[in-house]
Amino acid sequence: MPQQFFDGWSRTVKSNLPFRLDPVQEQRIDELLFELLEDPDCVSLLREMDTAGIDQAVLLVIDFGLAYKNIELTIEEIHLAHKKLLNQSDRFLAFSNVDPRRGREGLDLFEKAVREWGFSGMKLYPPCGYSPDARILFPYYEICRELHLPVLTHIGPTTATLPFRHTQPQYVDDAAFHFPEVNFILGHAAVTHYQDAALLAQYRPNVFLDLSGFQTAINRNEFKKIIHWHLSRGLGRKLLFGTDWPIHRFWGNQRDWVEKFTALEPESLSPKEEMDDILGNNLLGILPRTERKYANYGA
């Protein structure tokens, strides 16, 4: 995570606390937040996935290279680090992200990632300064259409050092309209801007809603109401479970989040079959159908 991104995130967290911090406590918050992110080889993540009964997780590349200065790794190096994780474990999938303003070189990198390195989807991070409906993304969507790759785009606020413009569900509509064969996943939108997102998912067959960030809604006692909102609109096949690792590690582990989510079932908010769809089947239904050919298990 770039330092600038961390600084903005930390400032937001601290400004949302309902009490004043002294300088020592501010420093301590930074240390604890930094600890959250320390799992470069995903060892802790795999351990928690085992405990939680999670078979697979999607790892997301984010290209901050044009939004921030002095990024330590090139975007190609970041992709290669994810490729290494893919090669080490079949428990991971990865989505590629290249800032579309990188031109031909960026498109070539994306194509290599999805055609040769085993990336199975595209990630967008509009706070970096582009909209999901920007025409410069359409060549990427053409590739996604050809290879049946889903596109996951961030929805809602993020770190205070990036603009929130283009993070509303409406900015996905034009892309979803022009590429009806491409499935668009609205990251966090099952809980952030969820009413607008639900409307889009209701009327665009190729729009899906990711639940990651639901931990915040649970903390605010809003989650049951939100889930009911979606299910009462027939969106059980459009919801995708996610936990936004490692952001919410502070409040619980992967098992906690699975348990809190599945606890909805006995309360008749969601029947078992619908729960299984949300926990995995819905995503499996929109991932590319071809088997991974790149994995080098045990290497």
Confirm or reject binding of residue 24 to other proteins (CB under 8 A): yes
Confirm or reject binding of residue 252 to other proteins (CB under 8 A): yes
Confirm or reject binding of residue 25 to other proteins (CB under 8 A): yes
Residues of this chain, 130-169, that bind other proteins according to CB under 8 A? none
Select the residue interacting with other proteins from 256, 264, 274, 279 (CB under 8 A): 256
Number of residues that make up the chain = 299
Confirm or reject binding of residue 17 to other proteins (CB under 8 A): yes
Confirm or reject binding of residue 18 to other proteins (CB under 8 A): yes
Closer Cβ to other proteins, 84 or 220, answer by number: 220
Closer Cβ to other proteins, 221 or 296, answer by number: 221
Minimum CB separation of residue 18 from other proteins in Å reads 6
Residue 38: partners with Cβ closer than 8 Å, 6 or more residues away: none
Residues of this chain, 26-65, that bind other proteins according to CB under 8 A? 28-29, 32, 35-36, 38
Q: Which residues bind other proteins (CB under 8 A)?
A: 16-19, 21, 24-25, 28-29, 32, 35-36, 38, 219, 249-253, 256
